[in-house]
C-alpha cells in the first residue's frame, strides 16, 4: 500500500501526496487512522490564517479514531489492532503553566495536527502517551467525535455548570451543539442561538431549543424565559463581534461567560455590564486527559448522538473538496475523512503491516 496524506501547501491549496513512513521509535506507536474530522481550526489553516504558525507542507487533522499498527521499543500497554483515539498534545513539562499542572496550555505546546504532522493520512506515528483506548462497542466513525466532545466537556467544566443553570450557547456549529448537549447532560436548561436554519433544525432534532438572532430579540427571549433574572451562563462559540455582545447581554447578576471561540482580532466588550452585574469571564482552551476520558463515555453511551452530527464521510482523496464544501458552513455539521483501505490488495498490505507490528 502506498500511504497517502492530505497536505496543506499554501492558502486554499491542499494536495494528496505520498506520506513518509518509518518504524515507530522508542515510546512511539504507529497508527492506521480510520476517520478524521475536519474542524474550524483546519479551515483557518486552509484559508491561510495560520501561516505564521504552520510549516508547509503540513499534514492536517487532529479529531481522529483508528487502530494500532506497530509499537516501538519500550511500549508495553498497546498492541496491533487496539482501537484508539489521540489527545493531540505534547508539552514541555518545564514552563510555569506545566509546573502549575496546566500542561494543556503549555507555553511551548505542540498541538499535533497543527504544529506537527496530523492524522489525515494512512499511517501516523505518535507518542504512546497520547493514546486513549476506545470501547470495543464504539464505532470508529462515531469515535472521531471524541476530541471535539472533549473540548465541550472542558468548556462546561470551566463554566462551572450546575444543575438547573439557565444556559445560552451563542453559535450552533459542531462545538456549540456539543457544548449544549454536554451542558444538558450536566443538568443545565439550554438555549442555542444560531442564524443557520439547517443548524437550528438539527439542534431541534436533538431536543434543544434554538433561536434565530436575525428574527428574534434574544435578550427579550432570555428575559421572558428566566422571568427577568437573566441567564446564569453563556458560551460564546460564534467567533463574531455580535456573538460577544449577545453573550454578555443575556447574563443576569453574577452570570458567567465562557469564551470558547478563537477571535482573530481584539473585540470591544461592555465592561460596564461586567461591573454592574458582577459578571465573570473565563477562557476555555483545549482539554486534559480526564476531559477525554469523559468524552469517550459520552460518545459511547450516546449522550452525544454522533450519527446525527456526522453530515458526510468522504475518502481521503476527496478531502480537499470537503474543505471547500465546509466553507459555506450552514448546511453541514461535521464531515469525516475516511482514511481506511478499501481494496483487497490494500487490506492484504495492512494485514501484513499489523503482523510485522506484532513481532516488534
Q: What share of the chain is helix, strand, coil (3-state, %, to 5)?
A: 35, 25, 40
Nearest CA to 312 among 336, 342, 338? 336
CA–CA gap between residue 319 and residue 14 (Å, rounded): 8
CA–CA gap between residue 96 and residue 316 (Å, rounded): 40
The pairing of strands 189-193 and 209-211 is: parallel
Joined together, the cell numbers standing for residue 171 give: 453559535
Q: Give the Å distances, CA to CA, from 117 to 45, 152, 253.
A: 13, 24, 45
DSSP conformational letter for 122: S
Give the count of beta carbons closer than 10 Å to the beta carbon of residue 254. Answer: 11
Q: Would you call 277 helix, strand, or coil by DSSP?
A: helix
CA–CA gap between residue 27 and residue 291 (Å, rounded): 23
**In contact, 128 and 102? CB cutoff 8 Å:** no
82 dihedral zone (left: phi>0; alpha: psi -120 to 50; beta): beta
* Residues belonging to the active site: 41, 44
**In contact, 58 and 45? CB cutoff 8 Å:** yes
CA–CA gap between residue 135 and residue 143 (Å, rounded): 9
CA–CA gap between residue 298 and residue 348 (Å, rounded): 34
**In contact, 122 and 1? CB cutoff 8 Å:** yes
> How many alpha carbons lie under 13 Å from residue 14 in its C-beta half-sphere?
24
Joined together, the cell numbers standing for residue 332 give: 453541514
Amino acid at each position: 500500500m502506498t500511504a497517502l496524506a492530505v497536505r496543506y501547501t499554501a492558502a486554499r491549496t491542499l494536495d494528496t501526496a505520498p506520506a513518509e513512513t518509518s518504524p515507530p521509535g522508542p515510546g512511539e506507536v504507529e497508527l492506521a487512522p480510520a476517520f478524521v474530522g475536519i474542524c474550524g481550526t483546519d479551515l483557518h489553516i486552509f484559508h491561510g490564517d495560520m501561516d505564521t504558525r504552520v510549516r508547509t507542507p503540513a499534514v492536517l487533522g487532529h479529531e481522529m479514531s483508528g487502530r494500532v499498527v506497530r509499537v516501538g521499543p519500550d511500549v508495553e500497554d498497546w498492541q496491533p489492532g487496539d482501537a484508539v483515539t489521540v489527545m493531540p498534545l505534547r508539552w514541555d513539562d518545564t514552563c510555569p503553566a506545566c509546573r502549575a499542572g496546566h500542561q494543556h496550555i503549555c507555553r511551548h505546546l505542540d498541538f499535533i495536527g497543527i504544529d506537527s504532522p496530523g492524522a489525515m493520512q494512512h499511517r501516523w506515528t505518535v507518542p504512546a502517551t497520547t493514546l486513549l483506548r476506545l470501547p470495543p462497542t464504539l464505532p470508529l466513525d462515531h469515535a472521531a467525535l471524541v476530541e471535539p466532545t472533549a473540548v465541550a466537556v472542558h468548556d462546561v467544566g470551566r463554566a462551572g455548570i450546575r444543575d438547573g443553570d439557565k444556559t445560552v450557547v451563542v453559535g450552533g456549529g459542531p462545538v456549540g451543539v456539543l457544548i449544549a448537549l454536554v451542558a444538558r447532560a450536566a443538568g443545565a436548561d439550554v438555549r442555542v442561538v444560531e442564524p443557520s436554519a439547517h443548524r437550528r433544525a438539527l439542534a431541534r432534532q436533538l431536543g434543544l431549543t434554538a433561536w434565530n438572532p436575525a428574527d428574534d430579540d434574544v435578550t427579550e427571549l432570555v428575559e421572558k424565559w428566566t422571568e427577568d433574572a437573566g441567564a446564569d451562563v453563556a458560551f460564546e462559540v460564534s467567533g463574531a463581534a455580535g456573538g460577544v455582545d449577545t453573550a454578555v447581554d443575556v447574563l443576569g447578576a453574577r452570570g458567567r461567560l465562557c469564551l470558547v471561540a478563537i477571535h482573530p482580532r481584539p473585540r470591544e466588550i461592555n465592561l460596564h455590564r461586567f461591573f454592574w452585574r458582577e459578571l465573570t469571564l473565563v477562557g476555555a482552551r483545549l482539554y486534559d486527559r480526564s476531559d477525554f476520558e469523559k468524552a469517550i463515555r459520552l460518545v459511547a453511551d450516546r449522550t452525544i448522538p454522533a450519527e446525527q452530527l456526522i453530515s458526510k464521510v468522504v475518502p481521503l482523496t476527496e478531502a480537499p473538496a470537503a474543505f471547500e464544501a465546509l466553507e459555506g458552513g450552514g448546511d453541514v455539521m461535521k464531515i469525516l475523512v475516511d482514511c481506511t483501505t478499501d481494496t483487497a490488495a490494500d487490506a492484504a498490505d495492512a494485514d501484513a503491516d499489523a503482523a510485522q507490528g506484532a513481532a516488534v
